[in-house]
Every structure is written in structure tokens, then in C-alpha cells.
Amino acid sequence: MVIEQLMLHVEALVFASDKPLTQTELAELLKNALETDELVPAQISASIEAIKEKYDSEFFPFELKEIGGGYQFLTKKNFHPTILQLNGDKFIKKLSTAALETLAIISYRQPITKPEIEYIRGVSSDYSIQKLLEKDLIMISGRNEDMVGKPLTYTVSKSFMDYFGLNTMDELPKLREIFPDDIVMPTDAAEAIPEEPGKLLVNEEGLLLETAGELPEDDAEAPPAEPEA
């Protein structure tokens, strides 16, 4: 089958699907629909690239995007305000500040337990976790067998990846890219351990002097006095 014909079938599948389709899924669906075993991954890839190039044109209000490991047609950013006029706030997922905080912690520290989330936030997170589960933005991934009580662990879901247009968690912005330069980032405890640990000495005012083994001459212990004749 020539690439132009294959493109039309790929477009039809992606357009009709309510979720992103992977190349593997596309290949399987096309083999069944076209009743052929001649399709190879390179043909699917070539079709996808051709479709992406086609809809990148300014003449189309939507584009083919790779999200969550699959492909889906999405409206281009410039047309989002127009779409909102039609649907209003119907499709906007609103989260409370507490839920957003909890979601951010889970996304950067997953898999993570509820006690660990609450330790970081300093408050209970029962309600936030429940809301995130209801909205299918997080999921239960297992249990922490090393913690007392073996609490449940949470990770972000595929819906989270789709909603934020991520293919892998490596695409999340780094914390140093988010915080301003004047915010001091916490130091890794392992980096704070001195190479040659020793005791610290302070004077009567509480000021740091030297480490043990490097005493100033004035503070070094004087040699015992010789007995008088």
C-alpha cells in the first residue's frame, strides 16, 4: 500500500479514537482492517510523520501530537480561547490548592505513601488524595513493604500524562527551572557530610574556632612546666 493511502487510514483511526493510539495499536488495527500482514513499523512511522507535517501547516486549527506514548489530534493552542466559547468551563478540571500541592508532590516523588505526603505538606491529605483518585489523575501503584503497616503507594496515572501532554516523567520541568534564582534549594544530606569529620570547638561567646586536630597555637595545650630546682 502506498504511503498516501496508508496516511488516510491512520488519520481515520486517530480521529475516531477517544484516547491516544500507539504505533503498535495502529499497526494491529490496520492489519485487521486491511487484512494484510505486509505492514511494517517503518511504514506506520512514515505515515505519522507525514500526517504531522501536513497538519503543522497554518491552514489547520488542530495538529497530531504524541502524548502519553500515543498519538491524538489536538486543537492548536491559539484556538483554545475559541473552543472555550463553545464549551465554557465544562471541560476544565479545577483543583484546589491543596489538591495541586498533593499532585505536585506525587508527580515529583512517586511512588510515595500518604504519610510521606503529609510529612512534606504538614497537614492531612486524605481529601486531596481522594479527589485526585476520583479525577483519575493519580492511581494506587502498590504498597511500601519497608514501612510500618505497609501503606499504599501512589503514582500519577496515564490520564495525568495525557492531560499535561507528557510522554515520560522526564519531561516535567526541573525544580530549578521553576523557582527563581534567589531561592536557596535544600542541600542533599549526603553532600553535607564532611570528608574528615571532627569535633568543632567554640569559644565562650559561642563562635566557631577550628576543627579538632587544627587547634590555634594560643589555644593549644601548653607543655608541662619543668620542676624548679
pLDDT of residue 144: 92
pLDDT digits (tens, 9 = 90+) for 114-126: 999 999 999 999 9
Closest CA to 31 of 13, 52, 4, 51: 13
pLDDT of residue 104: 92
- Same-fold call for 3-86 versus 97-178: yes
Q: Which tops the pLDDT comparison, 144 or 95?
A: 144
pLDDT digits (tens, 9 = 90+) for 201-213: 556 666 656 554 5
Q: What does the alpha-carbon distance between residue 157 and residue 176 come to, in Å, rounded to a whole number? A: 24
Closest CA to 62 of 82, 84, 49, 77: 77
**Pairing label, strands 152-156, 208-211:** unpaired
Question: What topology is assigned to 3-86 in CATH?
Answer: Arc Repressor Mutant, subunit A (1.10.10)
pLDDT of residue 40: 80
C-alpha grid cell, residue 9: 487510514
Mean pLDDT of 158-172: 82
* Residue whose entry in the numeric block shows the C-alpha cell 497530531: 64
Q: What does the alpha-carbon distance between residue 24 and residue 101 come to, in Å, rounded to a whole number? A: 35
pTM for this one?
0.54
Domain-by-domain residue ranges, the chain? 3-86, 97-178
Please check the confidence at residue 48 and state whether its pLDDT lies above 90.
Answer: yes
CATH of domain 97-178: 1.10.10.10
